[in-house]
């Protein structure tokens, strides 16, 4: 039997317009779509495809399942929101593959990039990632909270713009508040914080607040929210009747 393939695909932030042509072609060619249920539902439907939806906390098991399908000769698409390499399924797939490579010796593996949440949010409000920045997941499901705190302290001290993924959930209700309290001790009180929910979808909601008000504002956040904390150089440009533009100068120390 000829082995098939697994392509890990980033669906982008939600609006079908932001699905890349290359990712769209890979989805159209797939015999099987594998992923967390909410992402499987977002993939364009094609007659003849088989869909395999699963829970959002079984990533490695999902990856093994996809590789097994490919070993049977199937053309498998594993779908993630945003970009599959940013806190998503591509790493889980390679983790599963490395642990048992002999099980899938001839399976072809590819990764199709997508627009990750921090890029969609940045474009929505201006250019907050114009200078140096980093991304941190606040989920402590796969790493201890003290590791997250250590990394937050390091990037706050380095004065980077910070994009916080997986900020809060019913099972993790307090981590975002603690992270914002920590950030407020290291950044000026007027540092902008962006709370952007479901950018590119019908229920999009974006708020920009100073860091000393961010903990209260974070009560509306959920797992569809990305939180972005500005650096000391991050600026606001006020606009009448609209959200301000937010940008971070490319050069350190630049002020209008």
Q: What is the pLDDT of residue 186?
A: 94
Structure-block tokens of residue 102: 């002999």
What b-and-e string marks burial along 219-244, b requiring 16 or more CB atoms within 10 Å of the CB?
A: eebebbbbbbbbbebbbbeeeeeeee
73 or 46, higher pLDDT: 73
Residue 255 placed within a domain: no
Q: How high is the pLDDT of residue 3?
A: 81
Residue where a domain terminates, one of 90, 115, 140: 115
Residue 66 belongs to a domain: yes
Domain that holds residue 222: 118-247
111 and 122 both lie in a single domain = no
| Tokens found for residue 256 | 């209008």
pTM for this model (two decimals): 0.92
Specify if 254 maps to a domain: no
Name the band, by pLDDT with cuts 50, 70 and 90, for residue 25: very high
In this predicted structure, the answer to whether residue 255 has a pLDDT above a threshold of 70 is no
- State residue 254's pLDDT score: 52
Indicate the pLDDT class of residue 15, thresholds 50, 70 and 90. confident
d(CA 242, CA 99): 51
Q: Tell me how crowded residue 154 is: count the other CB atoms within 10 A of its CB.
A: 12
Domain ends where: 115, 144, 169? 115
DSSP three-state, residue 22: helix
Q: Give the tens place of pLDDT for each residue, 185-214.
A: 999 999 999 999 989 888 999 999 999 999
């Amino acid at each position: 039997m000829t082995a098939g393939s697994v392509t890990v695909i980033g669906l982008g932030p939600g609006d079908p317009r932001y699905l890349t042509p290359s990712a769209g072609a890979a989805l159209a060619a797939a015999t099987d779509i594998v992923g967390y249920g909410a992402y499987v539902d977002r993939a364009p439907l094609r007659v003849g495809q088989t869909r395999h939806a699963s829970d959002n906390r079984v990533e490695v098991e999902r990856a093994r399942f996809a590789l097994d399908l490919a070993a049977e000769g199937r053309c498998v698409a594993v779908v993630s929101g945003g970009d599959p390499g940013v806190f998503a399924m591509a790493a889980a797939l390679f983790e599963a593959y490395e642990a048992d490579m002999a099980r899938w010796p001839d399976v072809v593996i590819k990764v199709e990039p997508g627009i990750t949440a921090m890029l969609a949010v940045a474009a929505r409000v201006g250019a907050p990632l114009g200078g140096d920045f980093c991304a941190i997941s606040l989920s402590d499901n796969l790493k201890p909270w003290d590791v997250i705190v250590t990394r937050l302290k390091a990037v706050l001290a380095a004065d980077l713009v910070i994009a916080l993924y997986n900020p809060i959930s019913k099972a993790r209700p307090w981590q975002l508040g603690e992270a914002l309290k920590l950030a407020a001790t290291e950044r000026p009180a007027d540092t902008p914080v962006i709370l952007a929910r479901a950018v590119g979808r019908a229920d999009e909601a974006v708020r920009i607040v100073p860091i000393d008000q961010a903990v209260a504002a974070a009560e509306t956040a959920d797992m569809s929210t990305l939180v972005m904390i500005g650096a000391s150089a991050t600026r606001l440009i006020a606009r009448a009747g609209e959200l301000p533009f937010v940008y971070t100068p490319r050069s350190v120390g630049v002020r209008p």
